[in-house]
Amino acid sequence: MHILEEKIRAARAAGRHALIPFVTFGFPDEKRFWPALVELDENGADIIEIGVPFSDPVADGPVVEEASRRVLSDGVCLERIMGELKLRAGVFRAGIVLMGYLNPFLQYGLEKLAVEAREAGVHGFIIPDLPFEESGDIRRIFAAQGLALIALVGPNTPEERMRLYADVSEGYVYVVSAMATTGQRARMEMQVA
């Protein structure tokens, strides 16, 4: 069982839903980012998703887009993210997942990324713009380093496609709950099963 799945199952065994916050790397600035990450970790985050900023965040809403724009202007890049995470490898109890678009990962080099991610204490990746049909090589490269490639499904994902993801998924599945970009709604009705 992958460590990310273990963390979710442990939360369920404790009678609660897993807490999985998202933060954009380096936001609002690096000086305040790390204490915020430590605070999330110390206060019960089971898994922390760290956003890798990208200049063309097509699936992100205005809040995440603005956070990405700001940290990119501060010089945040994937090399810096990996270096800073390596310095803190093993510090966090929470599982660490990097969430970002395919282009920066390809530019960095997938094998290099996978090795460095493992060394940095990363447990998985969410790549929203990676179609299932193009994920085989990446999944294999990540799996060789013990990294999960987390599937992303939404309300419009057909059942047969969900079965494809279920056959190869590790860790957990990222479920997009609404057909809108992130941060578009001021309010959302919650229904917890």
Environment class of 123 (CB within 10 Å of its CB; exposed 0-12, middle 13-18, buried 19+): buried
**This prediction's pTM:** 0.89
- Tell me the pLDDT tens digit for each residue of 31-72: 999 999 999 999 999 999 999 998 776 667 788 878 878 887
Catalytic residue among 29, 46, 60, 74: 60
Question: How many domains does the chain contain in total?
Answer: 1
pLDDT, residue 121, reads: 97
Q: Which two tokens stand for residue 35?
A: 């204490």
- pLDDT recorded at residue 179: 55
The yes-or-no answer on residue 49 being catalytic is yes
The answer to whether residue 193 is domain-embedded is: no
Q: Is residue 187 part of a domain?
A: no
Share of residues in the chain with pLDDT > 90 (%): 68
Whether 180 maps to a domain, the answer reads no
* Chain segment 112-156, per-residue pLDDT in tens: 999 999 999 999 999 999 999 999 999 999 999 999 999 988 888
CA 103, 104, 107, 108 dihedral sign is negative
pLDDT at 193 over 70: no
The whole-angstrom separation of Cα 104 and Cα 110 is: 10
Direct distance between the N- and C-terminal alpha carbons of the chain, in angstroms, rounded to an integer:
24
Give a yes or no: residue 17 inside a domain: yes
Catalytic residue among 46, 49, 65, 116: 49
Side-by-side strand order, sheet with 22-24: 22-24, 47-51, 95-99, 124-126, 148-153, 173-175
CATH code at position 146: 3.20.20.70
What residue numbers bound the domain in which 156 lies?
3-175
Q: Is residue 181 part of a domain?
A: no
185 falls within a domain: no
Q: d(Cα 36, Cα 166) in Å, to the nearest integer?
A: 33
What's the CA gap between 54 and 77, in Å, rounded?
9
